[in-house]
């Protein structure tokens, strides 16, 4: 039995056999070969290069659109590497002299090169390591082929154990069979963690060397409540966990019972609870959990899953699927927020030295008009199917907002000319997630129908903290007095201008913070769907008077620590089971 402590990112308990996958990182055992097998392994390595070249050449010619230029460049560089005689010789020499398998030689040589790049101080150059890993992966896929674990067609319940999981990989998991997730790397706010939460799969990350102490088929317990993973538990532990699991399911059921009840405080104030989604198939989970619509539909998934640029029809179908599920309930579609993530940075030629302050989100869209207009057309076309609203992310000034609205207008005119129907009165809103937008909210409010406060980015930009950087992440807190002051400004300005306001960042999903937000005047919140029942229960157990009191107290405090402690305490009184 081995007990490992990590970070709990998605609640719940699961007990199942492990399935070890390595999407980013194949584990290649060093396998010695006999001298007589040398030529076979060398030939396998050569074939892998040949097949990888064939595959890349096909991708390259499929990427023929103007905005595919950068992706095409990347393919071209990878092809040069695959054709590189010095590289190939290094690999075949290693097979020959060290008597190892082709997989081992490919992996070792390319990792040596990658680690050489990571050591270089220059940011442009050190980022090249990602390209080398990509080439390594491509060659290993050729060599290992079908030997990879297939997660898409599971037949038994499993716990997925991995070094690191990408959000797209996680989103592809079948909820019926994937009962738990445990990974070596990752953090609470990593994208894969958010996806696991929204799919309701218990998950623990940052377990460091879990993949090394687990073998395929080991019995594994994932305890997403206590941040623990147990490999090969003994009888007593299994029994104890079966008990925990039963208790947790009962709590979930109790919460599910309030699903159809309204989110109203004891003194009669109604709160609108919406769901955040990333993938169309999550829409139904929002309904199941009792959400009254979608407050944030992230649309980046369309770009993360494919090698080629999605078409207008791809956009349209994905949105239509969701809007149909919600009929007359609101669905707020956020335009593309691509840019600062690993995905786009990897595809970029020269990675930006400071991507979060770089060409991301609405800025990226305003410089890639074809891509932006394609999405706007699709959103306008689905606007006739239900109550669709559009939301622009990362607005930092009025000029950007006016530009985005003007482009939306252009697209409307195009649709008019083609006699394609759309809702002319579709509401237009913005995410308020930069200090500059918060500080000018009074002026931005004049030109939009609603604000949605994105607390994650607002916090990171206000406090100048990268929440993914473990060295400083302790400075990241959405209840820092500075952040709360900005949030209060935005709420007040929205009320003055009489426009709708919601909060869609993770702050709204935290049971500790919900009373504070309500007390500050928030009446609409959008949260990850598994949290809807719990947040609703809190809303139903408090009075607005109490919330107002909490807010008044907190806004008078000047230290983050004091605020956190006070809020945690206040929430524990309301919902003891969750803490």
Partner 1 sequence: MQAEEDTLENEEYEAELEIKNAEGLHMRPAMQFVDIANRFDSEINVSNGETNVDGKSIMNISMLAATCGTKLRIKAKGPDARQAIDALRELVEEKHFDEPTPKK
**Residues binding partner 1 (CB under 8 A):** 73-74, 76-77, 80-81, 84-87, 90, 113, 116-117, 120, 122, 124-125, 128, 131, 349-350
Nearest to 540 by CA among 328, 290, 331, 332: 290
Residue 100 Cβ, how far from partner 1 at the closest point, in Å? Answer: 20
* Look-up of token digits 């820092």: 480
Catalytic residue among 78, 365, 504, 547: 504
Rounded alpha-carbon distances, angstroms, from residue 106 to 146, 181, 414, 479, 531: 18, 29, 52, 48, 45
For residue 50, the number of C-alpha atoms closer than 13 Å in the C-beta half-sphere is 6
Q: Where do the DSSP E strands lie in 170-248? A: 178-183, 203-205, 219-223, 228-231
Residue 133 Cβ, how far from partner 1 at the closest point, in Å? Answer: 14
SS3 content of the chain, % helix, strand, coil (to 5): 55, 15, 30
State how far the Cα of 169 lies from the Cα of 415, in Å rounded to an integer: 36
Answer yes or no: 504 catalytic. yes
Phi and psi angles of residue 257, each rounded to the nearest 5 degrees, phi first: -65, -25
Per DSSP, helices labelled H in 63-101 are 69-83, 85-98
Phi and psi angles of residue 488, each rounded to the nearest 5 degrees, phi first: -60, -40
The token pair that represents 476 in the structure block: 């990241």
Residues 6+ apart with CB under 8 A from 252: 533
State how far the Cα of 452 lies from the Cα of 430, in Å rounded to an integer: 6
532-541 core/surface letters (b: 16 or more CB in 10 A; e: else): bbbbbbbbbe
Edge-first strand listing for the sheet containing 178-183? 2-5, 228-231, 219-223, 13-21, 158-162, 178-183, 203-205, 7-10
Of the pair 112, 416, the CB lying nearest partner 1 is at 112
Among all residues, which ones are annotated catalytic? Answer: 191, 504
């Amino acid at each position: 039995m081995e007990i490992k402590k990590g970070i709990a990112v998605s609640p719940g308990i699961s007990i199942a056999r492990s399935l070890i996958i390595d999407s980013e990182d194949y584990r290649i055992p060093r396998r010695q070969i006999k001298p007589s097998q040398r030529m076979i392994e060398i030939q396998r390595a050569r074939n892998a290069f040949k097949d990888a070249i064939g595959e890349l050449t096909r991708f390259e010619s499929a990427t023929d659109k103007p905005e595919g230029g950068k992706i095409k460049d990347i393919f071209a560089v990878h092809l040069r590497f695959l054709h590189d005689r010095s590289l190939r010789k290094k690999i075949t020499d290693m097979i020959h002299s060290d008597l190892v398998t082709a997989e081992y030689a490919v992996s070792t040589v390319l990792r040596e090169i990658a680690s050489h790049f990571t050591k270089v101080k220059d940011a442009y150059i050190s980022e090249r390591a990602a390209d080398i890993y990509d080439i390594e992966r491509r060659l290993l896929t050729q060599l290992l082929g079908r030997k990879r674990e297939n997660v898409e067609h599971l037949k038994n319940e499993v716990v997925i154990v991995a070094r690191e999981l990408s959000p797209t990989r996680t989103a592809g998991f079948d909820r019926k069979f994937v009962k738990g997730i445990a990974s070596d790397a990752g953090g609470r706010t990593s994208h894969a963690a958010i996806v696991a939460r929204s799919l309701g799969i218990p998950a623990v990350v940052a377990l460091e060397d879990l993949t090394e102490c687990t073998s395929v088929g080991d019995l594994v317990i994932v305890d997403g409540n206590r941040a623990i993973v147990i490999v090969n538990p003994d009888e007593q532990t299994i029994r104890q966990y079966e008990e925990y699991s039963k208790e947790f399911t009962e709590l979930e059921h109790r919460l599910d019972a309030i699903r159809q009840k309204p989110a109203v405080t004891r003194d009669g104030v109604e709160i609108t609870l919406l769901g955040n989604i990333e993938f169309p198939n999550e829409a139904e989970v929002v309904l199941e959990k009792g959400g009254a619509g979608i407050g944030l539909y992230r649309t980046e998934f369309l770009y993360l899953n494919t090698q080629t640029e999605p078409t207008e029809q791809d956009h349209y179908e994905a949105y239509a699927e969701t809007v149909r599920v919600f009929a007359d309930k609101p669905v707020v579609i956020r335009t593309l927020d691509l840019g600062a993530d690993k995905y786009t940075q990897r595809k970029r030629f020269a990675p930006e030295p400071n991507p979060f302050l770089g060409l991301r989100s609405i800025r990226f869209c305003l410089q890639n008009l074809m891509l932006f207009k394609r999405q706007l057309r699709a959103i306008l076309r689905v606007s006739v199917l239900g109550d669709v609203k559009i939301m622009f992310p990362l607005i930092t000034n009025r000029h950007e907002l006016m530009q985005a609205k003007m482009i939306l207008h252009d697209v409307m005119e195009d649709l008019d000319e083609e006699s394609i129907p759309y809702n002319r009165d579709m509401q237009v809103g913005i995410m308020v997630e930069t200090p500059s937008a918060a500080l000018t909210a009074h002026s931005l409010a004049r030109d939009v129908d609603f604000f949605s406060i994105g607390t994650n980015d607002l916090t990171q930009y206000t406090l100048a903290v990268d929440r993914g950087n473990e060295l400083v992440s302790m400075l990241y807190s959405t209840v820092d007095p500075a952040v709360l002051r900005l949030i209060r400004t935005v709420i007040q300005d929205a009320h003055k201008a009489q426009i709708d306001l919601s909060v869609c960042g993770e702050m709204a999903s935290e049971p500790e913070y919900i009373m504070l937000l309500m007390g500050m005047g928030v009446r609409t919140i959008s949260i990850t769907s598994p949290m809807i029942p719990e947040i609703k229960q809190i809303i139903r157990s408090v009075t607005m008077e109490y919330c107002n009191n909490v807010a008044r107290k907190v806004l008078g405090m000047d230290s983050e620590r004091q605020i956190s402690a006070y809020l945690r305490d206040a929430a524990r009184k309301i919902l003891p089971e969750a803490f």
